[in-house]
Amino acid sequence: MSTAVSFEEQLRPGHGDGSLGAAVARLRTQDPKWLLVEEGFTLTREHEVESLFAIANGHVGNRGSLAEGSPLSAPATFVAGVFRQLETPGAIPELMVLPDWTAVRISIDNQPLTIDHGEILEHRRILDLRCGMLWREWRHRDPCGRITRVTAVRLASLSDRHLLLHSITLTAENYSSVVRFESSLEVDEGTSVLAPDWKVRASSGRPNVLPLAVRVPGRETTVAFGVTSLILSSTDVPGKRVVALDPHRITEHCDIQLEVGSECQLHRLIAVFSSRESSRPFECAMEHLRGVMPAGMPAAASAHASEWQARWRKADLRVEGDDALQQALRFAAYHLIASANPNDGHVSIGARALTGAAYKGHVFWDTEIYMLPFYIFTCPRAARSLLEYRYHMLEAARNKARSFGFRGAMFPWESADNGEEVTPRAVIAPSGEVFEILNGEMEVHITADIAFAFWQYWQATADDDFILQAGAEVILECARFWASRGSLEADGDFHIRHVIGPDEYHENVDDNAYTNLMAAWNLRQAAAMAGILEQRWPDHWRDLARRLELSPEELDTWSKLADCVFTGFNPETRLFEQFRGYFEKQQINLNDYEPRTAAMDVVLGHGRIQQTNIVKQADVVLATYLLWDEIDPAVRAANFHYYEPRTGHGSSLSPAIHALIAARIGEAQLAQGYLKQASEIDLGNNMGNAAGGVHAAALGGLWQAVVFGFAGLGTRPDGISFAPNLLAHWSRLSFPLEWRGSQLSISIEPGAIRVEVAGSAGLKLQVDGGPTIQAEPEREYVAERAMPGWKPWQAIAR
Amino acid sequence: MMATSAKITSASRPALQSARWIENILLALDEQTPCRTAVPIACRLSELYGATLHVTHVGLLALDPREIPARLGFTAQQRHGAVFNQAKGDRAHAVMQLAQELVEPLVVMSTHTGQPGGKDRFGSVTESVLATRPARIVLLSPDRRQKEWKLRRILLAHDGTPASHAATAPAADLAQRAGAEVIALHVAARGRERPREPGSMPAPLYIDQPQHEWPAWADEFMNRMLAAGAPPSAIEFKLTVTSGRPGSEISELARERSVDLVVMAWHGHWEHQTCATRVVIQTSGCPVLLLYSADE
């Protein structure tokens, strides 16, 4: 049963000088290097555009859909951590698509204004990367010849993560008519939740804040929206506003009489709270809006833009001499900033972040290995919250290990809101083949990846508090898993069998080199960390060891096992065999298959590719990157040169890592090619695969490729090092970096490296294989290139 | 996989104006037996569309139009409602001239109409007609002979480019008229660059996780095909993907699944021996409906 309540009020003529809209417009960035622009309208690209132009703040994400819709619009709003679980057999948790708060239909004399009826005179969407705002400019001649100009902006506030803003300005260029804005926010009838005071609110004379909530299927979660709107018109004729409320829908329409050349504005503020943050999400949403309304939209937008600019000051990676790459890097950083919430340690970033429903919002190793370094070095608090998510899921990881007969923590290959394994068990490909999905059981390297990420965070931040509270436990439990997952066999080696490595073209293999190398690292580092804890925080260590029932013998076993892990390394060839039997696989020359339009597993088929030596993505090569300082330079180069021509790059994660390593070992041409490929994964307009959301890990990989590859950044216990490999057409590469509380500004030119140090602590600066200096806070240093090598670092007076 | 949306509905697609789709079938025939393989196809298409069948004789010897039905072997039933005429002068020119004069025509002809061409060439009239890039043409190999033709299964070949959407609605419309099923085939192509047209959606170059990527890709492929191709909403497409050389893959599937008609967009190329269009026409074993779509 629905109870509809409607009321009308006469709108007073507003301040049609556009003051409110103009206040927001003043924030808009003019520099084209900060703008991603989609000119015109290509229907078939719409889903991609919606993903690329998504706005988000780590809590709420919204696709860049047209407000009025099109034949191919897929608007979606997501709240991080809000997963639904349907009751259908085989259903797995999926990030829930929430009510679309951006839907606004415009009618002129009862004729809907839509992009596919009439003539588009101008249309562009502009993502202002610097301010985190999505603009739309649309000028349209409808079938009756009326020309309407629409300018719209929306944002998900970075300064107030519960707040969303949507503003539309309409100008009647050549007609006088009644213009109607109709907005609605609705939920399925079965999932609506009534506000506690809904009846009172609905019957009030003028409900200026409208409530709506949805109950998440399969979860005890409620998401509540509060909506308030403001209409301004430049005409003297009063308008009319009608609101209809029922338990599952808010519909609001406003009729305004416009004269030729006059304009009207619709401004909407939306607050979103879920029962994850508050036991009273309705009240929170309502109260939040009431708190925001007095200062209004300009203040909210201004605070949001300021927050974005503050984030950019710590994250803007600049490449001078390559505009396309510059845009791709800013696009990457924009989405990475928009994906994380430093204030919520119970959510992580899904494969497509908050930009699309593909991958169901599931969290993979992508976050720890590909995205996390960006946060560690630009916003450590966000990195910490991402790691907190894993810590909060530790018990589920322990349960998974137990269920497989192992000890410690076995993290899920795919994770949602409760840390359980949520990898689908099978998929039907369009070829009709049914593939059993073994990753949840066999792609166990994620456990070492997570341990590695905790360690990497600790090394770069010296956040002892976090490692004591959470990180140590995770690293130790991961090591314990490895000790039970493999076995010391008769040959004296520790083998880890029946796994899938990053090269997912080869399933159920023994001794995947990446897995084993990372497992060995985990075992060794856990034992070493136990020693550090015992020495520096003996009381804490005693408590932890007692709680985890860790004995000195067990720790000693880990060290010994680490030394026995079979790595498939051949000292003569300097190669790691990717897994047992890899070298015997059918040799395929990938060049014979070029050009091709699809991934190699599509070209050859799922079964056939397993019989070949084609590698899906960086596997051994990735291990050489992560364990760089532990692997001899000649070994790194030999493995790159061996595996690179055998890699099909069937994963979006692959090109960036290849660019990174190629840059580090001086393969400039390869590095440039892979960097370009990595930068086009989402932005290439003939790829199509961004339709379900951006590739968040590839974006993180792109950042890493430039910072760790082309700048050659290395981290050491006492400081950082550089081994620059700038491309020939780059005149400068510069970026900010946070390291152990110091804020660094780094600028690399072909002839010099400059580092500005701010903060309270110093650090050691080093050029790889060259001079070292102990840098002091509030100083600037430069190392100039000599031929060959580098001159000593010099302090520059500031 | 893509977010469900109230904005994607069949009602929001532009309705296909079926009645205006094909109003005239133009069957070009000479007196050679191989050409006559086109007769049952043209007659059936004429029935399905409710279109007038125009039979134009393009043989070397001019015939009295009154003699044409008998000379070309039309049964009494096939003659019913048909218009017969004799092409004069340049035969191909005459066919296209008539096509231009007719409202919403569909040309139907055998690949071997006119004088035999050289090795791997079509007949002279066929080649000349193709050179004019007709908007719609059904071609068929004479190997089919004059078997009865039923339209039960249509294969829509789609390379994922926006240009290919031109074939979607005609395939679906015909399926609706005939009660046929439609298989949409996408071939992940070897030997081809990834299409550059914005909005192209070939098989994925990156399959990070197949358990997610394939359902998402298939949804997106179909979404684009339906939104841009605007087929009648009642028709369901069964999507299938193979890999290899597009021409031979399309033909192989057509034969495997006993397809009665292949429908594909066509960019006006057929001359090269390995051209997918030519390969499909020659080896699919069924008629091929080509919808011209200019290169982007």
Give A215-255 pLDDT, tens digit per residue: 999 999 999 999 998 888 888 777 888 888 777 788 888 99
| Cα→Cα distances B30→B27, B110, B116, B141, B206, Å | 10, 10, 12, 15, 51
Tell me the chain A residues in contact with residue B203 when contact means C-beta distances shorter than 8 Å. 597-599, 602
Tell me the chain A residues in contact with residue B197 when contact means C-beta distances shorter than 8 Å. 686
Q: What residues pair up with A732 in beta bridges, in sequence order?
A: A320
**Ramachandran region, residue A472 (left: φ > 0; alpha: ψ -120 to 50; beta: rest):** alpha
Pick from A734, A721, A713, A738: nearest CA to A660: A713
Mean pLDDT over A649-667 rounds to 98
For A753-771, write each residue's pLDDT tens digit: 999 999 888 899 999 888 8
| B163 and B236 inside one domain | yes
Chain A residue with minimum CA distance to B225: A44
Mean pLDDT over A307-320 rounds to 98
Amino acid B190: pLDDT = 81
Question: Is the pLDDT score of B85 beyond 70?
Answer: yes
Report percent pLDDT > 70 for chain A: 95
Instruction: Decide if B183 is inside a domain.
Output: yes
d(CA A495, CA B174): 60
Closest Cα in chain A, distance from residue B132 (Å):
29
Q: Do the Cβ atoms of A791 and A771 come closer than 8 Å?
A: yes
Closest Cα in chain A, distance from residue B115 (Å):
38
Question: Is the pLDDT score of A722 beyond 90?
Answer: yes
For B56-92, the DSSP string reads EE-SSS---TTTHHHHTT--HHHHTT-EEEE--SSHH
Closest Cα in chain B, distance from residue A287 (Å):
30
Note the ipTM here: 0.94
Instruction: Decide if B7 is inside a domain.
Output: no
Q: Do the Cβ atoms of A345 and A338 come closer than 8 Å?
A: no
Angle, in degrees to the nearest 10, between helices A513-536 and A445-461: 40
Buried b (16+ CB within 10 A) or exposed e, A667-686: beebbbebbbbbbbbbbbbb
- Nearest by CB: B220 against A351, A604, A692: A692
Catalytic residue (one of A94, A277, A307, A504)? A504
| B84 and B188 inside one domain | no
Cβ A362–B212 below 8 Å, yes or no?
yes
Instruction: Decide if B176 is inside a domain.
Output: yes
Q: What is the three-class DSSP state of A283?
A: helix
For A292-346, the DSSP string reads HTTTHHHHHHHHHHHHHHHHHHTT--EEET-HHHHHHHHHHHHHHHHH--TT-TT
- Nearest by CB: B240 against A430, A435, A606: A430
Restricting to B residues 238-277, those with a Cβ less than 8 Å away from any Cβ of A are 239-244
> Which segment of A125-139, A430-444, A600-614, B13-27 scores lowest on mean pLDDT?
B13-27
| B211 and B272 inside one domain | yes
d(CA A752, CA A773): 15
> Which segment of A43-52, A516-525, A661-670, B19-28 scores lowest on mean pLDDT?
B19-28
Tell me the chain B residues in contact with residue A46 when contact means C-beta distances shorter than 8 Å. 227
| B157 and B113 inside one domain | no
In a mutagenesis test of the A interface, which of B12, B156, B207, B296 is the best target, namely the one with the most A β-carbons within 10 Å? B207
| B92 and B163 inside one domain | no
Mean pLDDT over A127-148 rounds to 98
Cβ A75–B5 below 8 Å, yes or no?
yes
- Nearest by CB: A688 against B13, B220, B230: B220
Model confidence at A206, pLDDT cuts 50, 70, 90, reads: low
Question: Is the pLDDT score of A14 beyond 60?
Answer: no
B2 touches chain A (CB under 8 A): yes
Q: Do the Cβ atoms of B290 and B266 come closer than 8 Å?
A: yes
DSSP state of A708: I
Cβ A595–B194 below 8 Å, yes or no?
yes
Closest Cα in chain A, distance from residue B29 (Å):
39
Buried b (16+ CB within 10 A) or exposed e, A572-605: eebbbbbbbebeebeebebeeeeebbbbbbbbbe
Cβ B189–A598 below 8 Å, yes or no?
yes
Chosen domain end from B144, B171, B189: B144
Instruction: Decide if B273 is inside a domain.
Output: yes
Question: Is the pLDDT score of B63 beyond 70?
Answer: yes
Question: Is the pLDDT score of A598 beyond 60?
Answer: yes
Mean pLDDT over B184-199 rounds to 87
Chain A residue with minimum CA distance to B214: A429
| B176 and B109 inside one domain | no
For A198-231, the DSSP string reads HHHHHTSS---SEEEEEEPTTSS-EEEEEEEEEE
Cβ B199–A685 below 8 Å, yes or no?
yes
d(CA A364, CA A359): 10
- Tell me the residue type at A169: T
Model confidence at A615, pLDDT cuts 50, 70, 90, reads: very high
Amino acid B194: pLDDT = 85
Residues in chain B: 296
Question: Is the pLDDT score of A577 beyond 80?
Answer: yes
Number of domains in chain B: 2
Buried b (16+ CB within 10 A) or exposed e, A164-198: bbbbbbbbbbebebebbbbbbbbbeeebbbbbeeb
Domain that holds residue B81: 19-144
Chosen domain end from B94, B118, B144: B144
Question: Is the pLDDT score of A316 beyond 50?
Answer: yes
Mean pLDDT over B261-278 rounds to 89
For chains A and B, count residue pairs whose Cβ atoms are closer than 8 Å.
Answer: 200
Cβ A362–B241 below 8 Å, yes or no?
no
| B106 and B70 inside one domain | yes
Closest Cα in chain A, distance from residue B102 (Å):
30
Closest Cα in chain A, distance from residue B247 (Å):
15
Model confidence at A19, pLDDT cuts 50, 70, 90, reads: low
For A75-102, write each residue's pLDDT tens digit: 999 999 999 999 998 899 999 999 999 9
Quote the strand ranges of chain B, DSSP E. Answer: 24-29, 52-57, 83-86, 105-110, 136-140, 153-157, 181-189, 237-244, 261-266, 288-292
**Ramachandran region, residue A177 (left: φ > 0; alpha: ψ -120 to 50; beta: rest):** beta
Amino acid B116: pLDDT = 84
| B107 and B173 inside one domain | no
Question: Is the pLDDT score of B17 beyond 60?
Answer: no
Residues in chain A: 798
In a mutagenesis test of the A interface, which of B183, B201, B205, B221 is the best target, namely the one with the most A β-carbons within 10 Å? B205
- Nearest by CB: B4 against A42, A97, A695: A97
Question: Is the pLDDT score of A608 beyond 60?
Answer: yes
Instruction: Decide if B110 is inside a domain.
Output: yes
Pick from A758, A749, A759: nearest CA to A783: A749
Residue that is written with structure tokens 């004296």 in the block: A492
Question: Is the pLDDT score of A210 beyond 90?
Answer: no
Model confidence at B210, pLDDT cuts 50, 70, 90, reads: very high
Instruction: Decide if B1 is inside a domain.
Output: no
Question: What rounded mean pLDDT belongs to chain A?
Answer: 93
| B54 and B118 inside one domain | yes
Question: Is the pLDDT score of B43 beyond 50?
Answer: yes
Tell me the chain B residues in contact with residue A681 when contact means C-beta distances shorter than 8 Å. 206
Amino acid B270: pLDDT = 83
Sign of CA dihedral A25, A27, A30, A34: negative
Amino acid A157: pLDDT = 98
Restricting to B residues 114-173, those with a Cβ less than 8 Å away from any Cβ of A are 160, 162, 165
| B261 and B164 inside one domain | yes
Closest Cα in chain A, distance from residue B258 (Å):
17
Instruction: Decide if B157 is inside a domain.
Output: yes
Helices (H), A504-619: 513-536, 538-548, 552-564, 600-604, 606-609
Q: Do the Cβ atoms of B49 and B75 come closer than 8 Å?
A: no
Q: What six digits make up the tokens of A373?
A: 């370094």
Chosen domain end from B112, B144, B176: B144
Question: Is the pLDDT score of A187 beyond 90?
Answer: no
Kind and range of the H or E element at A721? strand A719-722
For A253-273, write each residue's pLDDT tens digit: 899 999 999 999 999 999 999
Q: What six digits make up the tokens of A216?
A: 């998440």
Cβ A424–B186 below 8 Å, yes or no?
no
Is A46 designated active site? no
Amino acid B10: pLDDT = 30
Model confidence at B6, pLDDT cuts 50, 70, 90, reads: very low
Pick from A443, A310, A365: nearest CA to A697: A365
Question: Is the pLDDT score of A191 beyond 80?
Answer: no
Question: Is the pLDDT score of A645 beyond 70?
Answer: yes
Q: Is pTM, for the whole model, over 0.90? A: yes
Highest mean pLDDT among A732-746, B26-40, B77-91: A732-746
For A358-410, write each residue's pLDDT tens digit: 999 999 999 999 999 999 999 999 999 999 999 999 999 999 999 999 999 99
For A435-468, the DSSP string reads EE--HHHH-THHHHHHHHHHHHHHHHH--HHHII
Amino acid B80: pLDDT = 86
Buried b (16+ CB within 10 A) or exposed e, A774-797: ebeeebbbbbebeeeebeebeeee
Buried b (16+ CB within 10 A) or exposed e, A412-432: bbbbbbebbbbbbeebebbbe
Query: Which CATH number goes with the domain that contains B220?
Result: 3.40.50.620
Q: What six digits make up the tokens of A759?
A: 């903060």
| B130 and B37 inside one domain | yes
Amino acid A597: pLDDT = 86
Instruction: Decide if B295 is inside a domain.
Output: no
B186 touches chain A (CB under 8 A): yes
d(CA A757, CA A774): 11
Cβ A43–B8 below 8 Å, yes or no?
no
Pick from A218, A606, A658, A628: nearest CA to A428: A606
Pick from A238, A296, A242: nearest CA to A267: A296
Question: Is the pLDDT score of B253 beyond 70?
Answer: yes
Q: Do the Cβ atoms of A726 and A712 come closer than 8 Å?
A: no
d(CA B46, CA B81): 10
Cβ A351–B8 below 8 Å, yes or no?
no
Q: What are φ and ψ of residue A743, in 5° steps? A: -100, 115
Buried b (16+ CB within 10 A) or exposed e, A693-707: bbbbbbbbbbbbbbb
Q: What are φ and ψ of residue A300, in 5° steps? A: -65, -45
Amino acid B118: pLDDT = 77
Cβ A595–B209 below 8 Å, yes or no?
no
| B159 and B280 inside one domain | yes
